[in-house]
Amino acid sequence: MGKVIKNILRLKENNQKAIAILIDPDNLSREFLVKQVELAKINSVDFFFVGGSMITDDCLEETIDYIKSNCDIPAVIFPGSVNQVSNKADAILFLSLISGRNPDLLIGNHVLSAPRIQKTGIEVIPTGYMLIDGGKPTAASYVSNSFPIPNDKPKIARVTALAGEMLGLRLNFLDAGSGAVKKVSQEMIRATAQGTSNPLIVGGGIKTSEGAKEAWSSGATVVVIGNAIENDPNIIKEVSKIKIQLNENNCVIPAKIN
């Protein structure tokens, strides 16, 4: 078991909360990347998730290399295709799109990418990835050619996550998609968190600190912030304050795994 998944499991065990900043190298200038890393360093960000559905430039490795050279926050690949692999990363979320029925994204692409990932030697984290209706079509739903789970159907999300867990996946990920109009509902987060034992990641449509607090309070272990930072960089400061407060209220501060 690798260091990143150990830390996430320890967070879950101690009811601690974490922040991940989502970085899409295709939509990021060098200047903004520098600002993102500096903001993350001073605001207790726990992870960088790096990747995107439509990366066209050869900038994944360059982005990860900058992060690793300028801070000690883990850089975790959040892949949108079989080509998004780099030995510079700390880990990769090995995503199985269990909310859809596209065989390529359930297992097909994994077969193609597995030998390449093995050669890198990076930590692999099997993750049950579920697209949730965020109120508008997203790049993820377009590229994956799959329908998202309706936002008002928490039971579907819960049993889908449970099935993934029974198949041996280590994380559950509810994602309304980049630029979502509405975030994953509290009812869906709560149902999934209470109906499964895996740590839960929630992203998409979280545009305010209150939205992050709602996700954590409903059972998320990791909240992912993406597009909202482009509109308001201060959101990370506000979200970080809430995370620290929640963790202090829970009293137990888990040590990081070396």
Convert the pLDDT of each residue in 86-141 to its tens digit. 999 999 999 999 999 999 999 999 999 999 999 999 999 999 999 999 988 777 77
| Beta carbons of 122 and 90 less than 8 angstroms apart | yes
Contact 130, 147 (CB under 8 A): no
pLDDT per position as a tens digit, 10-52: 999 999 999 999 999 887 888 999 999 999 999 999 999 999 8
Contact in structure between 173 and 130 (CB atoms under 8 Å): yes
The candidate with the shortest Cα–Cα distance to 136, out of 192, 166, 179, is: 179
Predicted local confidence at residue 145, as pLDDT: 79
Condensed to tens digits (0 to 9), the pLDDT of residues 51-71 reads 986 665 568 999 999 999 999
Query: What is residue 56's predicted lDDT score, i.e. its pLDDT?
Result: 58
Confidence of residue 251 (pLDDT cuts 50, 70, 90): low
Distance (Å, whole) CA 172 – CA 76: 15
How high is the mean pLDDT of the chain?
92
Predicted structure pTM score:
0.93
| Contact by Cβ (8 Å): 51, 76 | no
Give residue limits of the domains in the chain: 3-249
The DSSP H or E segment spanning 192 is helix 186-195
Query: Does residue 252 have a pLDDT over 80?
Result: no
- Determine the 3-state secondary structure of 250 from DSSP: coil
* 125, 171 contact by CB (below 8 A): yes
What distances in angstroms separate CA 213 from CA 113, 129, 225, one per listed residue? 36, 22, 12
For the residues 74-81, what does the mean pLDDT come to?
Answer: 94
pLDDT for the residue numbered 255 = 45
Superfamily of domain covering 3-249: FMN-linked oxidoreductases (3.20.20.390)
Read off the DSSP letter of residue 38: H
Q: Does 250 have pLDDT greater than 90?
A: no
Closest CA to 206 of 13, 22, 4, 8: 22
**What per-residue confidence (pLDDT) applies to 254?**
44
Residue 143: per-residue pLDDT: 77
pLDDT band at 169 (very low <50, low <70, confident <90, very high): very high
- Digit-coded pLDDT (tens) for 207-243: 999 999 999 999 999 999 998 998 898 899 999 999 9
